[in-house]
Amino acid sequence: MLFAVIPAGGSGTRLWPLSRAGHPKFLHALTGTEASLLQATVDRLGPLTTPERTMVVTGAAHVAAVARQLTGLPEENILVEPSPRDSCAAIALAASVIAIREPSAVMGSFAADHLIGDPAAWVSTVRQAITGAEQGLLMTVGITPTRPETGYGYLQCGELIDGGPLRRVEEFKEKPATEVAQEYVRSGRYLWNASMFVWRVDVFLGELARQQPALHAGLTTIAQSWDTPEREDVLGAVWPTLPKISVDYAVMEGAAAAGRVATVPGDFGWNDVGDFDTLGEVLPADGSGNVVLGADTVEPKPGVLLRDCERLVVVPHSGRLVAALGVRDLIVVDTPDALLVCPRDRAQDVKKLVDELKERGAEDLV
């Protein structure tokens, strides 16, 4: 049975002012239901594993919130990063801890803050990836592209393995320019890299030792102390020395070059919920295309009053009435200490407002 690892990091600045450094994206109910993205991620794993085999890796600032949202998870399965060291350290920590329990366990790593429209299709895809992992491949779930997106990395696919559905990954491609992305989509040979990985922990740690010996050595030291009274001391001493690097760049690119990475193309309504415009595309809308976040889960009063409005994305998150009249394609996010008004086609630039607030020294608002 799968060990599931959920790296829960990232602040989601393009979802400001809802998402904050202190209460990031994965803790919010951006799912169209009462569940947070994190809770939905755990729920989705139901057919694949158990809470005892599910781990969350998160920052010290978010442990309490994660523990309260995931009441079914054993406490020891919430791994705390003493400081942010990017995804490779976080995932490798989980892999090392799993390896103590079960040295050749198959582990999957799934981001805490993505939406999956068709969870059953997702489970099938992950099951196919598990078969590849059991054969010793580093599996990455690729997403069949639906548009020439320039905001994602791509997987360049090679031959089918044993007639499919697994396919060799020849190369990881960084976020492309528009024309390049168009060519990728046209060719049919590229998938979006959603950073969902499935592998045997021994295979992954072997690749880590080969490509990132310093990281591997540090994590070996940490793992050796894990079930001893020294765990906190060792973690506190070693963790800050680990290289800050993403798992894609640290391990997967080199493993692909060595022919050790494969993918399963997935088509299950994946969305990384990067910004409010995206959220408006995936969540249920009313007859005029307006998406009101949490509209059917929060108290209807005072709620939202929309008149002659189309294609709004409204987040009424302060308990106040949000009234809009005669506007369209607009994002309105209402929180207890900050309000955002912005057209949907500028949703990406919300990050710039956050940057500006940081420059102003308004850290309490970011």
Q: What is the CA radius of gyration of the chain?
A: 21
Residue 233 contacts a copy of itself per CB under 8 A: no
The per-residue b/e assignment along 230-266, b for 16 or more CB within 10 angstroms, e otherwise, is eeeebbeebbeebeebbbbbbbbbbbbeeebbbbbbb
Instruction: Figure out which of the listed residues 111, 126, 250, 353 binds a copy of itself, where binding follows CB under 8 A.
Output: 353
Residue 324 contacts a copy of itself per CB under 8 A: yes
Instruction: Figure out which of the listed residues 127, 210, 346, 358 binds a copy of itself, where binding follows CB under 8 A.
Output: 346
Q: Which 3-state string (H, E, C) describes 268-287?
A: CCEECCCCHHHHHHHCCCCC
Min dist. Cβ of residue 151 to a copy of itself (A):
18
Tell me if 16 sits within 8 A of 117, measured CB to CB: no
Min dist. Cβ of residue 355 to a copy of itself (A):
10
Q: Which of residues 255-314 bind a copy of itself (CB under 8 A)?
A: 301-302, 305, 307-308
Min dist. Cβ of residue 301 to a copy of itself (A):
7
Strands 167-173 and 313-316: unpaired
Stretch that binds a copy of itself, among 71-79, 143-151, 215-223, 352-360 (CB under 8 A): 352-360
**Would you give the distance in Å from CA 192 to the centre of its chain?**
14
Stretch that binds a copy of itself, among 111-119, 229-237, 258-266, 344-352 (CB under 8 A): 344-352
Number of CB atoms found within 10 A of residue 229's CB:
7
Cβ proximity to a copy of itself: between 236 and 336 the closer is 336
Using CB under 8 A as the binding criterion, the count of chain residues that bind a copy of itself stands at: 37
What is the secondary structure of 176-229 as a DSSP string?
PPHHHHHHHHHHT-EEEEEEEEEEEHHHHHHHHHHH-HHHHHHHHHHHHHTTST
Tell me if 126 sits within 8 A of 199, measured CB to CB: no
Min dist. Cβ of residue 323 to a copy of itself (A):
5
Instruction: Figure out which of the listed residues 82, 127, 339, 358 binds a copy of itself, where binding follows CB under 8 A.
Output: 339
What is the distance between the alpha carbons of residues 59 and 86, in angstroms, rounded to a whole number? 11
Residue 352 contacts a copy of itself per CB under 8 A: yes
Residue 247 contacts a copy of itself per CB under 8 A: no
Residue 6 contacts a copy of itself per CB under 8 A: no
List beta partners, residue 116. Answer: 270
What is the distance between the alpha carbons of residues 9 and 84, in angstroms, rounded to a whole number? 8
Quick one: tokens of 336?
């207890």
Stretch that binds a copy of itself, among 52-60, 244-252, 267-275, 351-359 (CB under 8 A): 351-359
Cβ proximity to a copy of itself: between 63 and 339 the closer is 339
Min dist. Cβ of residue 149 to a copy of itself (A):
21
List Cβ neighbours of 119 (8 Å cut-off, separation of 6 or more). 43, 44, 268
Residue 162 contacts a copy of itself per CB under 8 A: no
Cβ proximity to a copy of itself: between 230 and 308 the closer is 308
Cβ proximity to a copy of itself: between 60 and 321 the closer is 321
Number of CB atoms found within 10 A of residue 323's CB:
13
Residue 175 contacts a copy of itself per CB under 8 A: no
Cβ proximity to a copy of itself: between 189 and 346 the closer is 346
The residue assigned the tokens 């001893």 is 228
Residue 179 contacts a copy of itself per CB under 8 A: no
Residue 214 contacts a copy of itself per CB under 8 A: no
Q: Which of residues 12-31 bind a copy of itself (CB under 8 A)?
A: 17
Amino acid at 154: Y
Cβ proximity to a copy of itself: between 45 and 332 the closer is 332
What is the distance between the alpha carbons of residues 352 and 143, in angstroms, rounded to a whole number? 28
Pick the closest to residue 346 from 324, 327, 331 (CA basis).
331
- Site residues for a copy of itself per CB under 8 A: 17, 301-302, 305, 307-308, 318, 320-327, 330, 332, 334-343, 345-346, 349-350, 352-353, 356-357, 362, 365
